[in-house]
């Protein structure tokens, strides 16, 4: 199945187009299934989408009471004396989802899940990693690394593997998998906290030692006062697990995303740019949809011919109504729907 790439003029139009795509997909799914499972991302990119979706649920165009949600990732190492305090920390992804979506809904989802990162106390984790290097393998490069815990691990690391990592996988799989997964992309092309260089064949849900740039960016963005105060670990769905969803909807805005977006579409598939797995996903029949604002799409627009040669659909909506999205999504010949 070809990738579909929507080009929009700014954040507001990106959010509107992504919301229309998501609403159409959810409505279609809800006509064929009693419940559906949404995969959700955090970060700036999907905030506008979530506000539009909340309006769609609150106006009853979509049925919130037939939706279950699963988030991609969560920090390990947030301040707090216990798991509850860490989960409700203002920079936790649980708190983010309450602020940006869950708290806006007049009728609530069936269930909402965020990876269980708040159950892990960072100092105890680091103590165990130093004491028991035989219980795990570091996978990745000098940037981000996955901490692959062995099946014969004991103590805290065994509990993390069984009750945090594997438990989240089981919960998703027992619910039937993700129907529509919303994702963003990091400055190095990473998906969730599957950092650049972490192999694709990692466990479905991974414990990650965060890339130094990720920690620095969290300070630069104002999320944390210093690098020492910033979490150094996270729980995350792996890229391969993310792309088990039936449909993946990517949002990207701003010039920091220009290069990783272009590399993910134009270069070969590599774990150095985890988002590049989208090419393999689409080639295997997955439905992959990019919604980009103009700055994020700059290099994509310059490579229009190369993308079309790959069989992808490029839809330029910058000077047009996004009301055409439904027509494009359900066209039998999407190549004829290229605009601009």
Strand partners, 290: 5, 250
pLDDT tens, residue by residue, 282-338 = 999 999 999 999 999 999 999 999 999 988 999 999 987 655 676 666 554 444 344
Q: What 8-state DSSP symbol labels residue 229?
A: T
Q: Helix or strand or coil: residue 38?
A: strand
The pTM score is 0.93
Residues shown for the chain: 340
One of 3.40.30.10, 3.10.20.740, 3.40.50.1360, 3.30.43.10 is the CATH number of 4-337, namely 3.40.50.1360
237 near 73, Cβ under 8 Å?
A: yes
277 near 200, Cβ under 8 Å?
A: yes
pLDDT tens, residue by residue, 22-57 = 999 999 999 999 999 999 999 999 999 999 999 999
Longest dimension (CA), the chain: 60
The residue whose two tokens read 């994020």 is 296
Strand partners, 112: 69
**Hey, where are the domains in the chain?**
4-337
């Amino acid at each position: 199945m070809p990738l579909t790439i929507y080009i929009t003029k700014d954040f507001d139009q990106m959010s509107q187009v992504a919301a229309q795509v998501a609403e159409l997909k959810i409505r279609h799914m809800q006509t064929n299934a009693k419940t559906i499972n949404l995969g959700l991302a955090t970060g700036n990119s999907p905030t506008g989408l979530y506000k539009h979706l909340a309006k769609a649920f609150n106006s009853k165009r979509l049925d919130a009471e037939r939706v279950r949600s699963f988030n991609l990732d969560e920090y390990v190492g947030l301040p707090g004396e216990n798991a509850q305090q860490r989960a409700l920390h203002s920079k936790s992804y649980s708190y983010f989802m309450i602020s940006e979506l869950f708290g806006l809904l007049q009728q609530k989802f069936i269930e909402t899940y965020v990876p269980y990162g708040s159950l892990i106390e960072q100092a105890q984790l680091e103590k165990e990693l130093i004491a028991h290097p035989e219980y795990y393998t570091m996978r990745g490069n000098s940037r981000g690394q996955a901490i692959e815990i062995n099946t014969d691990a004991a103590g805290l690391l065994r509990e993390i593997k069984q009750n945090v990592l594997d438990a989240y996988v089981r919960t998703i799989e027992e619910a039937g998998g993700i129907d529509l997964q919303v994702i963003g992309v990091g400055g190095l092309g990473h998906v969730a906290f599957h950092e650049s260089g972490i192999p694709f064949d990692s466990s479905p849900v991974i414990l990650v030692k965060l890339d130094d740039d990720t920690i620095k960016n969290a300070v630069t963005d104002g999320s944390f006062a210093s690098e020492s105060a910033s979490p150094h670990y996270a729980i995350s769905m792996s890229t391969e697990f993310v792309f088990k969803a039936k449909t993946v909807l990517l949002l990207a805005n701003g010039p920091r995303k220009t290069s990783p977006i272009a590399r993910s579409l134009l270069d070969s598939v590599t774990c150095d740019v985890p988002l590049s797995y989208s090419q393999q996903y689409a080639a295997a029949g997955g439905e992959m949809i990019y919604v980009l604002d103009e700055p994020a799409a700059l290099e994509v627009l310059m490579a229009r011919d190369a993308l079309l040669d790959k069989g992808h659909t490029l839809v330029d909506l910058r000077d047009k109504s996004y009301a055409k999205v439904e027509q494009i999504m359900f066209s039998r010949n999407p190549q004829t729907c290229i605009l601009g």
